Copies of this chain bind each other. A is one copy, B any other.
Amino acid sequence: MSWNTFGRVLRFTTWGESHGPALGAVLDGCPPGIALSEKDIQPFMDARRPGQSKFTTQRQEPDQVKILSGVFEGKTTGTPISLMIENVDQRSKDYSEVAKAYRPGHADYSYDQKYGFRDYRGGGRSSARETAARVAAGAVARLIIPEVKITAYVCEIGGDSIDREAMNLAEIGNNPFFCPDTWAAQRWEKLVDEARKAGSSLGAVVECVAEGVPVGWGAPVYAKLDADIAAGMMGINATKGVEIGDGFGAARLSGEENADRMRPAENGSNEGSPQFLANHAGGTAGGISTGQPVVCRVAFKPTSSILTPVETIDNEGNATEIRTKGRHDPCVGIRGAPVVEAMMALVLADHKLLDRAQFGNR
């Protein structure tokens, strides 16, 4: 079943295909009275925007967002906010090869089998271009949670990880990889360039930290904060894994090692937030935020579109092989960082409102 809405009380619905006239998001449930204009959204669009370095697809899309509803005299009205992004650079290339044969790793085969046919132009609805609409919605969600600071960065490309000691969040904007470690960024430049030139592609891991989330957001059972984060992240194109806190690493710790020991508030008084001596849990316990930074990691597979020919079948079931020409990201995970930030913002804003529904203001 087509299901293009995410969220519980702050809900957004996206629409649009890679090669249609436009794509967009409708964000519903936003509180009224929040100052909002296109200028609040555009910087996040620009961060995700393709064509800005040789390490991303060369498709040139300005990704200008238009606000079509929900704002009056510069403020949100509490009614649905319709955000539209026109597609500009839908190159009229020949898609006959993609139309006829299935690209392994892509949704081509599963789509054709499910729907009976598909919009093969640039992946249609399954294109990562859909994530532009999430980034737009996420930019609005951030304004609902000004107390929270969300930062995502690439912490691993092609198996090469950043050095946690050398990490400096201020560096993220200074390289084309959203990388907080300048040395890693330099290595990745060579790594990604080689993959690109070889007609290959690389996977990546994106880490996201949300600071300032107060204790108490989330729910104990099926709308656990971490479960909603997992759903949000695993819904991003090309993702194959999600970890909260230590993630799979936690499975290798003993109970004593994994315990986030607690001490009284820093000022020594028993007022205020306690100190945690570690954050193995990644900021949630029992599905509810603890007041520590919320931390998740998301695995992106290597871009499935590669120039190297791979064996496949055509849509009549005959053996063939396919090379995916066209403009592609050699490492789709890089541009995943702004999308991960957006999904984190959308989940957290939803949970802020859910918490307020049950408890009122804190």
Contacts and interface: CB of A to CB of B under 8 A. Distances in A.
A16 to B, nearest CB: 5
A90 B299 CA distance: 42
A307 to B, nearest CB: 9
Most central of A80, A195, A253, A255 by chain B CB within 10 Å: A255
Contact of A240 (B23, B200, B282, B313): B282
Given A15-B82, A20-B68, A251 B360 contact: no
Contacts of A118: 72, 77
Size range of the interface on A?
Answer: 35 or more
A17 interface: yes
Contacts of A286: 106-107, 110-111, 126, 237
Interface string A88-119: 00000000000000101111111101111111
A181 to B, nearest CB: 17
Contacts of A243: 240-241, 248, 299
A354 B104 contact: no
A288 interface: yes
A2 interface: yes
A242 B245 contact: no
A46 B331 CA distance: 46
Contacts of A228: 231
Interface stretch (A35-43, A51-59, A168-176, A315-323): A315-323
Interface string A229-258: 111111101011111111110111111111
B78 A358 contact: yes
Q: Which of A5, A11, A108 has the most CB of B within 10 A?
A: A5
Given A80-B4, A220-B111, A360-B361, A259 B28 contact: no
A203 interface: yes
Contacts of A269: 317
B2 A80 contact: yes
A127 to B, nearest CB: 10
Given A4-B79, A215-B113, A253-B301, A227 B234 contact: yes
A39 to B, nearest CB: 17
20 contacts: A2-B358, A4-B28, A6-B222, A13-B26, A20-B68, A21-B68, A69-B125, A105-B285, A113-B215, A156-B251, A156-B252, A205-B248, A221-B235, A230-B230, A230-B233, A250-B301, A251-B300, A256-B308, A263-B311, A353-B357
A182 interface: no
A64 interface: no
A1 B195 contact: no
A274 interface: yes
A255 B311 contact: no
A72 B82 CA distance: 23
B109 A285 contact: yes
Given A220-B2, A234-B227, A357-B354, A263 B26 contact: no
B251 A204 contact: yes
Contacts of A257: 302
Contact of A234 (B80, B230, B299): B230
Contact of A15 (B29, B70, B233): B70
Nearest to A223: B3
B113 A216 contact: yes
A254 B232 CA distance: 25
B240 A250 contact: yes
